[in-house]
Amino acid sequence: MAEPLLENPRFLMERVAKILGGGEAKQAGLAGFVNSEFDRFLNQLFASRSVTPRDATAALQGRPGFVWLAEKPSAEELGPLQVLEMVAMTATTAQPPWRRPNQGEIGEVRSRDDLNGWFAVYSGVFGSDPKGRDEWGQIHDALGPAGDGSLLLLLARVDGSPAATGAVFFHDGLAGLYCF
């Protein structure tokens, strides 16, 4: 893989493949893993310039997923496919002066209740199938605090209710931050 910033997500997906019994992409010019029937974040492919968007999409075998493209494709290369670019998100955090301040906190997912709250927010963002919750339970058991500690799931709460999620994956002296 030529892009060093993509090494962290690629290694995370390799670890997830071992946990969920996923498979590595076997097509020339395509790296990555297809790990889930339900969850697009758990299926990530990294395409070289020689791989067309249609070929990369076909490698997902009808499953939802992310394909990291080496460059923006032309309309002809895309055909009926759509490219979605995720760049940044912002939010206004100022409150109207008549409201009491929100009570916000962020913490590590440690319990099944925490994981259920985390998945509820996460799946609301990605539109994940509820069946993906069990996969995240397996991943958290293996890589979270009860496992090898390489994955930290974060849950932000506002006034006690789950409001935002994130994850940090530690590998090879680096931490990859994922915000959902």
Cβ atoms of 166 and 179 closer than 8 Å: yes
Predicted structure pTM score: 0.76
Which of 32, 61, 78 marks a domain boundary? 78
Claim to verify: residue 62 and residue 124 sit in the same structural domain: no
- What's the domain count of the chain? 2
Higher pLDDT, 83 or 141: 141
pLDDT in tens, 109-166: 999 999 999 999 999 887 888 899 999 999 999 999 999 999 999 999 998 899 999 9
pLDDT in tens, 2-49: 466 678 888 999 999 999 999 999 889 999 999 999 999 999 999 898
**Residue of 64, 37, 60, 5 whose CA lies nearest to 133:** 37
Measured between alpha carbons, how far is 78 from 174 in angstroms, rounded to an integer? 34
Q: For position 110, which CATH number holds?
A: 3.40.630.30
Claim to verify: residue 10 and residue 64 sit in the same structural domain: yes
The reported pLDDT for the residue numbered 94 is 62
